[in-house]
Amino acid sequence: MTEEDAGEYCRQVEQYLCRRNEGHLIRISGPRFDLVQGWFSRGIPLKIAMQGIDRGVERRRAKDTRRRSVPIEFCEDDVLDVFEEWKRSVGVSEAGRAGGAGEAGRESLPGHLERVIARLTALRGGADRSLDPMLDDVVRELDTARAKAKTIRGDGREALIERLRQLDAALVGALRQHANEQTVRQLAADADEELKPFRARMPAETYQQSHRACIDRLLRERAGLPTIAYE
């Protein structure tokens, strides 16, 4: 990765922030350039940085109805949060090794189920109805699980968590089956781009696993599908 690459990354971030600020340009220069260049150096994919900016802008808008322009430094925590979520979802660490999720900040199991059910229910009313029968079955099963999620312990809890992984894999598999070949090729190219900063440091098998997980994440994002697995 060259200084020219870093400069282009910063320009893209500046342009995106300008669009989110309704055309008001906040220059990415000086300390702000150093901040964004740090994202680039850590391997934060541009799309992930943009999602963090989206989250930061929406957070600011929720607090400030005057719609003042949002500086890039306000979005720092959101960008890093989205990056952590991305690393967990595709299974990489910043050293390029397979990574796992920690316990810090973990959402409660009942809260997770509540959020997933709400998202899946909303999807059933969307334009694409091809997965409706499967979504109906999953929502019913999750609704039953939610009723006991607060009190379930031990082996029962672990069995439920494993079942959530299975349901998640089944839904992503269904998305793959419904996606046309051109879409999958494009998402594969997008996954290559997202993983580029890590590829040279990853064993081939690890990279393939992360690449597939990245395509699955992009398919999920494209469909608006929440993560059912509880990690």
Give Cα separations from 15 to 24, 31, 58 (angstroms). 10, 17, 17
Q: What digits encode the pLDDT tens for the residues 110-160?
A: 999 998 999 888 887 666 677 788 989 999 999 999 988 889 899 999 999
pLDDT at 71 over 90: yes
Same domain, 68 and 132: no
Residue that is last in its domain, among 90, 117, 150: 90
Could you tell me if residue 96 is inside a domain? no
Q: Quick one: pLDDT band at residue 96, thresholds 50, 70, 90?
A: very low
Side-chain half-sphere exposure of 182, counting CA atoms within 13 A: 0
Same domain, 197 and 161: yes
Number of domains in the chain: 2
Could you tell me if residue 99 is inside a domain? no
Could you tell me if residue 217 is inside a domain? yes
187 lies in which domain range? Answer: 109-223
Written as six digits, the tokens of 196 are 């580029």
Same domain, 113 and 219: yes
Q: What is the pLDDT of residue 89?
A: 87
Could you tell me if residue 193 is inside a domain? yes
Mean pLDDT of 92-96: 62
Could you tell me if residue 9 is inside a domain? yes
Same domain, 61 and 127: no
pLDDT at 102 over 60: no
Same domain, 41 and 115: no
> Bigger pLDDT: 156 or 68?
156
Written as six digits, the tokens of 108 are 């409660």
Sign of CA dihedral 53, 58, 63, 67: positive
Q: What is the pLDDT of residue 77?
A: 93
Same domain, 9 and 82: yes
Q: What digits encode the pLDDT tens for the residues 155-199?
A: 999 999 999 999 999 999 998 888 889 999 999 999 999 999 888
pTM of the model: 0.70
Could you tell me if residue 229 is inside a domain? no
Same domain, 143 and 207: yes
Same domain, 114 and 216: yes
